[in-house]
Amino acid sequence: MRKLQSQTQRNARLPALLFALAVAWLPTTALAQRTPDFAAYTVPAEGAVVVTMRQGGTQDRAFLDVDRASGGALSRAVASAAFEGKRGTSLTLHGIGPFSQVTVIGRGEDAITPRLLEDIGALAGSAGASSKAPRMELLWPEAGMAAGGAHLAFGAALGEYRFGIYKTESGNAPKPGQGALVVRISDPEAARSAWTSQWRPVADSVRFARDLVTEPANVIYPESFVDRTRAAFADVPGVEIEVLDVPAMERLKMQSLLAVGQGSARPPRLLVVRYRGAPAGEAPVAFVGKGITFDSGGISIKPGENMWRMKYDMTGAATVTGTVLGLAKRRAKVNAIAVAALAENMPSGNAARPGDVIRTMSGKTYEIMSTDAEGRMVLVDAMWFVQTRDRPRVLIDVATLTGSVSTALGDEYAGLFSRDDALADALLSAGRASGEELWRLPLHPSYAKDLESPIADLRNGGSSGRAGAGVGAHFIGAWVQPGVAWAHLDIASMAWRDDSALPTMPTGASAFGVRLLDRYVRDHIEAGR
């Protein structure tokens, strides 16, 4: 039975609440997504088609079939363009024989895997997003993978993502990215079943999280984040939503989360989404996300350059909420909880200051060295809350926590910190399988020395020039209760793609972690049943 609980401040906030509710029901994107469909393999007589090309050696059947139908025009055009078929590359050609458009996607020399199929689908989706063709047909006659067509469609949904609800459009001409994307495959019914039941829910959840992150901070703030979440989970069975407002957090003595939000006119919230897909007595998996809807740095204010991007500092909260949304929609056999620690970090006369001492919900205290180390501040109260209330067997927090993780790992990996080798190995494996990869970094005992305070139990940051990502993880780990398998994911290097787009992660918000955590549940919890 779905239960909704809310402790929401109503006094003197009706206009803001009505605006937030209106925002929650806005369409999530103005750029239409192509509708996926599946059909038996055949080469259409005309229109827009997508084929794959190997790097060297014998060409794929679909490539040869389209080349034959075009009287050799495809192979001549590819040779003229010096296209080699390297993995992750694509070439779009127009007027190839009877075809208005042919997109050729390089598959390299790699064996067929779900990740390869998702990359191929993503490049097809990206081509579809910029094409005005009313129908595109992705030709994949290869057999040998029951859900192959579903993985192609999943990749297409990831790769075609665009956000444009604030762009003014004029005229009635056909717009790109609309229509159908038909995957022509040897077993369309198996592909359709796998897509509908297993992969479309995850694709929709990635889109939900990307939309949340991309929205500006005047639209998504703690209260409207809650409203968007309620709308997304409407009519999803097995879900309970709980929201803690400021008075509720004050009663629980969550002074750490409150300290971050007290400088903003927009009050903080703690959002808890519980999904029950396993027996009631089974301990849940808890995902806790940093939800700083805008991070100015507070009194320790950030430089102005690129501060606009700090709307993305709630990616962790969007990721964990999106993860549980996907689990619930695909009826995963797990009890899972998403906790979003939501606050806006702003400077004001009421803001927390460097040097302040904060007592957390657990009773542990820390001294603020920087109000720009606010992510760990909201996480520790949220983590303590879910541990005391729900007794999870696994606790994973997700946060755009530090710039230093980007220095260490670039934009190829997110940082993984854990004291539990089995959990770390499971997450590393899930990262490789999903394409959202992690690199394990140390939690050295010496980091405790960096966090010593002369007047409190800890400081919220270490000395400059130290291992910032590890020190931040060590601080968070001080609030993990004995016996709880815990991992911290610092995704600051992966949450926003600028000039480093990947096939399944276009430019902008990536929602990094939704696919990773879904794969972790599939392979290491559900598979264990």
At the topology level, CATH places domain 35-167+175-197 in Leucine Aminopeptidase, subunit E; domain 1 (3.40.220)
> Is CATH 3.40.630.10 correct for 3-25+217-526?
yes
Catalytic annotation present for 274:
no
Q: What are phi and psi of 53, to 5 degrees?
A: -135, 130
Residue 505 DSSP symbol: B
Q: Provide the pLDDT for residue 17.
A: 45
353 CB neighbour count, 10 Å cutoff: 13
Catalytic residue among 184, 200, 330, 376: 376
Contact 182, 138 (CB under 8 A): yes
**Binding residue per annotation — 290?**
yes
Token pair 């990359």: residue? 119
Question: Does the pTM of the predicted model rise above 0.85?
Answer: yes
Catalytic residue among 132, 302, 389, 440: 302
Tens digit of pLDDT at every position of the chain (529 positions) = 333 344 433 333 444 444 444 444 444 444 668 999 999 999 999 999 999 999 987 899 999 999 999 999 999 999 999 999 999 999 999 999 999 999 999 999 989 999 999 999 999 999 999 999 999 999 999 877 778 999 999 999 999 999 988 988 777 777 899 999 999 999 999 999 999 999 999 999 999 999 999 999 999 999 999 999 999 999 999 999 999 999 999 999 999 999 999 999 999 999 999 999 999 999 999 999 999 999 999 999 999 999 999 999 999 999 999 999 999 999 999 999 999 999 999 999 999 999 999 999 999 999 999 999 999 999 999 999 999 999 999 999 999 999 999 999 999 999 999 999 999 999 999 999 999 999 999 999 999 999 999 999 999 997 666 789 999 999 999 999 999 999 999 999 999 998 889 999 999 999 999 999 999 999 999 998 7
**Binding residue per annotation — 313?**
yes
Distance CA 392, CA 386 (A): 7
**Binding residue per annotation — 65?**
no
**Binding residue per annotation — 390?**
no
Residue 168 DSSP symbol: -
DSSP 380-449: HHHHHHHHHHH--SEEEEEE---SHHHHHHTTT-EEEEES-HHHHHHHHHHHHHHT--EEE----TTHHH
Distance CA 337, CA 339 (A): 6
Catalytic annotation present for 376:
yes
Residue 56 DSSP symbol: S
Domain ranges in the chain?
Answer: 3-25+217-526, 35-167+175-197
